[in-house]
Amino acid sequence: MSPKKIAVLGAGSWGTAMAVMMARAGHHITLWGHNPSHIKQLKIDNSNVEFLPGTDFPSTLSVTDQLEETVEEHDFLMLAVPSHAFRQTLLKCKPQLKKDTIVSWITKGFETGTGLLAHEIVIETLGKDTKLALISGPSFALEVADNLPTAVVVASTDIEVATEVADIIRNANFLTFPTKHLASAEIGGAMKNILAIAAGISDGLGYGANARAALITLGLTEMVQLGHVYNCSESSFLGLAGVGDLVLTCTDNQSRNRRLGLQLGQGKKIDDAKQTIGQEVEGIHAAREVHAICEKWSLDMPICIQTYRILYEGLAPDVAVRYLLSRAQLAEPQLD
């Protein structure tokens, strides 16, 4: 694949790791961040010392805080901002956007307040003919920055766009699989954040590996259940962006969502736990949106709802777990 010019919009740990990975593969990457002092620091260090220690920026990577000219100069954008900044970033890009620009994103979450999926926001703000694609799957930023093997899906309702994006960003250590199951990949990436908080809570309370495996399995049935609202098939959750990312974040302490849950399970207050992590914890927002979707569609998703109640209603984690255990006596939830 010949080198491309790609703009990564969002200079947090994930946008920076993807930018470094693609620049190493020979692409010309511009990494935009909204915070001028952070961008200045990245330029001085030539790396992100705080969250990606030991990762130097290749010469094919430049950093900037100038959004307008970045969008103007690129026909391949990759949004890496948190979900709460997704729509406003698209709106800021819109005036400079060219007709055939690829709008891809690596954000995982529902829109705060509306519960919309990211592709719905792209279509609402930029129009239905936008060339759009999501990149998602089990992919911790630090491991990608460390050049460790990683496999993700590239999802678009237009499989030609998914294939084009997958071909551009694939390299020996970063495998990409095109798929047309866009909504499932978005739901999987957003839901696993809530379920990783739940798994962390269970581990923080001192419950063992058996309980964790049960939470992952029953959490998957909740993912599938939410998918029914969007007409997603059960099998579309059995890939990298669904069960793959769910297993990763529920089991490894690199996950910020899992780490938040661990601290809650150990009795820490939510604000203190958030402060210790110091980065985005998308599951906190996603829990609120999923709770609202469950109310709207009368869905019975006990793990997500109990997690919501711990996060927003002050429910004690052990009380939530006892409730889940009492429900589990009823019948094992099934995928169909």
Ligand X SMILES: NC(=O)C1=CN([C@@H]2O[C@H](COP(=O)(O)OP(=O)(O)OC[C@H]3O[C@@H](n4cnc5c(N)ncnc54)[C@H](O)[C@@H]3O)[C@@H](O)[C@H]2O)C=CC1
- Binding-site ranges for ligand X (CB under 6 A): 10-15, 33-35, 51, 80-83, 85, 88-89, 106-109, 139-141, 279-280, 282
- Residue number with CB closer to ligand 13P (200 or 333): 200
- Residue number with CB closer to ligand X (130 or 139): 139
Within residues 134-153, the interface with ligand 13P by CB under 6 A covers 138-140
Chain mean position to CA 129:
24
Give least dist CB 193 to ligand X, A.
Answer: 7
Residue owning tokens 């911790």: 140
Is 300 marked within a binding site? Answer: no
Number of Cβ within a 10 Å radius of residue 79: 23
The one of ligand X, ligand 13P, none whose footprint includes residue 89, by CB under 5 to 8 A per kind, is ligand X
Is 188 marked within a binding site? Answer: no
Our answer to whether residue 4 is catalytic in this structure is no
Give least dist CB 124 to ligand X, A.
Answer: 18
Is 314 marked within a binding site? Answer: no
The closest of 21, 29, 27 to 4, measured between CA atoms, is: 27
Helix axes 282-297, 209-229, angle to 10 degrees: 50
Give least dist CB 290 to ligand 13P, A.
Answer: 16
Chain mean position to CA 333:
26
- For β-strands 150-155 and 131-136, DSSP reports them as antiparallel
Is 105 marked within a binding site? Answer: no
Angle 91-25-20 from CA coordinates, rounded to 5°: 55
Q: Which of 40, 94, 192, 268 is catalytic?
A: 192
CA dihedral 257, 263, 266, 267 (to 10 degrees): -110
The SS3 call for residue 62 is strand
CB 145 within 8 A of CB 16: yes
Give least dist CB 69 to ligand 13P, A.
Answer: 30
Known binding positions = 10-15, 34, 108, 137, 139, 141, 192, 245, 255-257, 282
Residues within the interface to ligand 13P (CB under 6 A): 108, 138-140, 193, 196, 245, 248-249, 255-257, 282
Provide the annotated active-site residues: 192
